[in-house]
Amino acid sequence: MTKWLLSIAVVSFCCMTLPAPTPADAKEPYFKETVVAGGPDHFMEVRHVIIKGSNYAIGKKVAEIAKGMDIRPIPFIDPLTNKVQREYMEKTYPIFYQRMKGVADAYNLRLDDNRYDFTTLFQFPIGPPGCSVVFYPGSFTESGHSMLSRNYDFTTGTIMGRRPRENEVPVMSHPFIFELHPDEGYASLSICAFDLLGGVLDGINSEGLAVAILGDDETVMNFGRKPAVGIGMNELSSMRYLLDNCKDVDEAKEALLYLKHFYEFVPCHYIIADKNGRSFIFEFSPLRNNTHIIDGEGPQCITNHPVSNYQSIEEFPEESPINTYERYKTLHAAITGKKRFTIEEITAINASVADPGMTFDHPEYAPGRTLWHALYDIDRKSLSVKFYLGERPDASDPSRMILDYSDYLEFQLR
């Protein structure tokens, strides 16, 4: 009897003093969140978020940020598609799959619950970005560093472009600069919006691969939008995939050709560049049944029409309701025939195609503006960026507004 009681006591002691060990990937990550531009009294509030840890922990921490913003996983109406999408991510993108696990746990849900999509944490649906980007190989810059210079243009209103009503906020009022240092996959620095988990608009990774996404306005104009909720990578998550997995242009090309793509809101195309001075544009045919890779030869520019549709600038439409062609012509003329560019010249070239801030008095719709200019120094793995904070009337010219921007902010992957 005494021996039996002793055994019970030993078992009880062990149960009390030896709890189940915490899995390594569940350890609390390093986390720092800082407001770096704007605030409640400005158009936008920009946050720089640094997370270092396992991909599971990164996913969970991002989900906790989303929960604080009243963002929840999207209910999914097609359980079979959701199941196949989850399995696709597990096999094709295991880094992201681990982040999905963290998201599910943060919301106290099961990852295999097909009622919810754990691949996204949408702030707002994705809209059509109207942007202008130029890549400069290091052999064309005074510093000898390869540079990606990007204007991000978007509405200052709601996702539908309307002026926000009471209790509404502008769709671009809370962009994030995510700096991720995972234990598996490459570290990255990226500007994100729409989707906190995978919504990369432009960024760079620790290997010197830089990416930027641009809306394809011409395809929308000629063929309309045909969005879908499918299996594979949406228009933003493919950029997150490249930053996590690819070290150079060659790997990025293979990845984009290998991945299954769909768009949830708007067709887009991309420019990708690396520290070796190489770049390419990746885009889809209007019917999405073909892809095109356009290699850069020296400086390479892109705006909001498929470059693959035209053999030369002379083929551009003479008149168009979208201004992508004029911006492209301006950029192309500025970068053609010149052997070296200073940082000041690179910045000025993008400024020449930025939104000029014309007065916009439409009672329902809000104006579009250049919301940031981002300059990626690929050799330094750094980002210099200024953000739009608001506007005010220009007393000297009633037809214009004075656009207020933050100072250029500096970030570097280390």
Give backbone dihedrals phi and psi of 38, rounded to 5 degrees, phi first. Answer: 70, -155
Whole-angstrom distance, CA of residue 70 vs CA of residue 24: 29
Whole-angstrom distance, CA of residue 344 vs CA of residue 334: 13
By DSSP bridging, strand 45-53 and strand 30-38 are: antiparallel
Q: Please list the pLDDT of the chain residue by residue as tens digits (414 residues).
A: 333 333 333 333 333 333 333 455 668 999 999 999 999 999 999 999 999 999 999 999 999 999 999 998 888 888 999 999 999 999 999 999 999 999 999 999 999 999 999 999 988 766 555 799 999 999 999 999 999 999 999 999 998 889 999 888 899 999 999 999 999 999 999 999 999 999 999 999 999 999 999 999 999 999 988 888 889 999 999 999 999 999 999 999 999 999 999 998 889 999 999 999 999 999 999 888 999 999 999 999 999 999 999 999 999 999 899 999 999 999 999 999 999 999 999 999 999 999 999 999 999 999 999 999 999 999 999 999 999 999 999 999 999 999 999 999 999 998
Per CATH, which fold does 130-153+217-409 belong to?
Penicillin V Acylase; Chain A (3.60.60)
By DSSP bridging, strand 176-182 and strand 300-302 are: unpaired
Measured in whole angstroms, the distance separating CA 379 from the mean position of its chain's CA atoms is 20
Would you tell me how many other CB atoms lie within 10 Å of the CB of residue 245? 20
Q: To which H or E segment does residue 345 belong?
A: helix 343-351
Whole-angstrom distance, CA of residue 343 vs CA of residue 331: 15
**Model pLDDT, residue 8:** 33
10 Å CB burial of residue 334 (0-12, 13-18, 19+) is buried
Q: Do 241 and 256 touch, CB atoms closer than 8 A?
A: no
* Tokens coding 412: 């570097």
């999905």: which residue's tokens? 100
By DSSP bridging, strand 176-182 and strand 45-53 are: parallel
Q: Which CA distances in Å does 130 have to 8, 240, 401, 408? A: 70, 20, 20, 21
In eight-state DSSP terms, residue 137 is -
Judged by DSSP in three states, 208 sits in coil
Half-sphere exposure of 410 (CA within 13 A, CB side): 3
Whole-angstrom distance, CA of residue 155 vs CA of residue 409: 22
Where does 187-248 have alpha helices with state H? 217-223, 237-245
**CB-based contacts of 125: which residues, under 8 Å, 6+ apart?**
159, 194, 264, 265
Q: Do 227 and 264 touch, CB atoms closer than 8 A?
A: yes
Whole-angstrom distance, CA of residue 214 vs CA of residue 331: 15
> End-to-end distance of the chain based on CA atoms, in angstroms?
64
In this structure, the dihedral spanned by the alpha carbons of residues 195, 92, 376 and 143, taken in order and rounded to 10 degrees, is: 180
Whole-angstrom distance, CA of residue 36 vs CA of residue 177: 9
Give backbone dihedrals phi and psi of 145, rounded to 5 degrees, phi first. Answer: -100, 140
Residues β-bridged to residue 247? none
Q: Nearest-CA neighbor of 349 among 322, 329, 367? A: 329
Strands (E), 229-336: 268-274, 279-284, 291-295, 300-302
